[in-house]
């Protein structure tokens, strides 16, 4: 039987990408050094507590079972590693331009501890050229040459929080700066993933990630634009989508919603748009899609206002159900619920929320505590607004005890009696 090599892996960033990756490498007998600047995360891990909805306390305990998982905020452990993987945030700045401070910060913090023979991999979503234009100069400032002394590759994360996909089953795309870099990355990831997809360069790998999410971004935006048209034509768009989905070829179902959230879909297309403009090019599909989605919070508030008439919005109480960016996770990154709730507050409405994954939430300058979801509490609201369709929520109870239910996710679709439901 062929021997599988064991590695010492340093993973920088222990969030929704880094922690599952650490779990996978640990499960295959590797040693993992987890690094995160968030002391709260480190403290919770050391206490065997979870901060991610996909993990419970027992899952965290299992990570430490073989004494091969070491966590902290210091980069000194990079010196012990064979492989260094960056899984850090890549947000947009206030001008909707790429903010690589976490990527470059992680690289610069690693510099004193890098040594010959190591593989460095970036997994964070970013624009094509980041690995070669941004990371390579930083790493080579040590005097180590990429492809000869130290190795650099890009491998986009493809983790879908809350889904049932097992991580090793998701094909892993890798592209190295040189052939030697690619071969090293292929070997490392091939030891834990069922399939490794090799591409010709980091730029292709970086583009692959953006392409995946831009496709979803544009198609969801298209559905959101159709939503407004279908309102005027008195057509149930959700019904039309399901009917179109019966075609066995040529159609993929995408659904409308209150907007697009999460760490990838709202951000990645704007990274690509920024890169295109750097080369004096435009991507009109992305620009238009961005405009559509930026307008969704305002559209939702308009529909609520219309639905409450003759009562005024400023005289009304709204209960928001689900505030995370997607169902069955506790992830608030780029959640559209925040701007919607802020708009409702600015219009004078009284706003409360319930989410099984969120206990408290800052909306504007107000800290809101979750409202218990009881029949007595729900009767105090003029309208229930479903923004995230978490599983196992009592949607029948919402319909029974709230005068108006505005459903942006078709969460009530399987309930027979929903005369007071307005489906967006």
Separation CA 262–CA 293 (nearest Å): 13
Separation CA 110–CA 77 (nearest Å): 9
Out of 181, 214, 230, 264, pick the active-site residue: 264
Chosen CATH of 297-424 out of 3.30.300.30, 2.60.120.10, 3.40.1190.20, 3.40.50.720: 3.40.50.720
Contact call for residues 383 and 404 (beta carbons, < 8 A): yes
What is the tens place of the pLDDT at every residue in 151-209? 999 999 998 887 888 999 999 999 999 999 999 999 999 999 999 999 999 999 999 99
Model confidence at 1, in pLDDT bands (50, 70, 90)? Answer: very low
Domain segments of the chain as ranges: 8-201, 297-424
Three state DSSP letters for 391-419 = CCCCHHHHHHHCCEEEECCCCCCCCCCCC
138, pLDDT greater than 80: yes
Contact call for residues 303 and 424 (beta carbons, < 8 A): yes
Give CATH superfamily name and number for 8-201: NAD(P)-binding Rossmann-like Domain (3.40.50.720)
State mean pLDDT over 35-48: 97
What is the tens place of the pLDDT at every residue in 185-200? 999 999 999 999 999 9
Six-digit token pair at 295? 């307008």
Q: C-alpha distances in angstroms, 376 versus 226, 373, 400?
A: 37, 8, 11
Separation CA 86–CA 102 (nearest Å): 9
The pLDDT, as a whole number, for residue 95 is 85
Helix (H, G, I), strand (E, B) or coil at 134: helix
Reference 14, options 47, 46, 42; nearest CA is 42
Q: To the nearest whole number, what is the mean pLDDT of the chain?
A: 95
Separation CA 171–CA 165 (nearest Å): 11
State mean pLDDT over 60-67: 94
What is the tens place of the pLDDT at every residue in 352-382? 999 999 999 999 889 999 999 999 999 999 9
Give yes or no: 264 in active site: yes
Whether 8-201 and 297-424 share one fold: the answer is yes
Model confidence at 2, in pLDDT bands (50, 70, 90)? Answer: low
């Amino acid at each position: 039987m062929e021997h599988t090599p064991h590695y010492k892996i340093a993973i920088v960033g222990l969030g929704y990408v880094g922690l599952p990756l650490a779990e996978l490498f640990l499960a295959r007998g590797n040693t993992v050094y987890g690094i995160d600047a968030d002391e709260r995360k480190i403290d919770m891990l050391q206490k065997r507590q979870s901060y991610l909805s996909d993990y419970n306390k027992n899952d965290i305990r299992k990570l430490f079972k073989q004494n091969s998982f070491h966590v902290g905020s210091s980069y000194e452990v990079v010196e012990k590693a064979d492989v260094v993987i960056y899984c850090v945030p890549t947000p947009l700045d206030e001008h909707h331009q790429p903010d690589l401070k976490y990527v470059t910060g992680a690289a610069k913090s690693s510099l004193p501890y890098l040594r010959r023979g190591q593989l460095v991999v970036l997994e964070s979503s970013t624009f094509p050229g980041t690995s070669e234009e941004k990371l390579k100069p930083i790493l080579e400032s040590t005097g180590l040459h990429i492809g000869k002394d130290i190795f650099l590759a890009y491998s986009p994360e493809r983790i879908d929080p809350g889904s049932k996909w097992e991580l090793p089953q998701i094909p892993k795309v890798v592209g190295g700066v040189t052939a030697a870099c690619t071969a090293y990355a292929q070997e490392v990831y091939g030891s834990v993933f069922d399939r490794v997809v090799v591409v010709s360069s980091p730029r292709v790998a970086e583009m692959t990630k953006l392409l995946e999410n831009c496709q979803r971004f544009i198609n969801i935006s298209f559905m959101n634009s159709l939503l407004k048209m279908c309102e005027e034509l008195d057509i149930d768009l959700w019904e039309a989508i399901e009917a179109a989905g019966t075609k066995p070829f040529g159609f993929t179902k995408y659904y409308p919603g209150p907007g697009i959230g999460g760490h990838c879909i709202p951000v990645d297309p704007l990274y690509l748009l920024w890169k295109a403009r750097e080369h004096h090019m435009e991507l009109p599909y992305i620009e238009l899609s961005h405009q559509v989605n930026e307008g969704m919070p305002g559209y939702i508030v308009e529909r609520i206002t219309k639905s409450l008439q003759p009562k005024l919005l400023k005289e009304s109480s709204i209960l928001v159900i689900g505030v995370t960016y997607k169902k069955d996770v506790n992830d608030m990154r780029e959640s559209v619920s925040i701007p919607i709730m802020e708009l409702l507050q600015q219009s004078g409405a009284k706003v409360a929320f319930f989410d099984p994954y969120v206990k408290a939430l800052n909306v504007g300058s107000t800290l809101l505590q979750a409202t218990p979801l009881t029949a007595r509490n729900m009767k105090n609201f003029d309208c229930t607004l479903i923004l995230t369709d978490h599983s196992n929520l009592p949607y029948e109870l919402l319909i029974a005890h709230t005068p108006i239910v505005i459903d942006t996710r078709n969460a009530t679709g399987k309930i027979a009696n929903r005369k007071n439901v307005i489906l967006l």
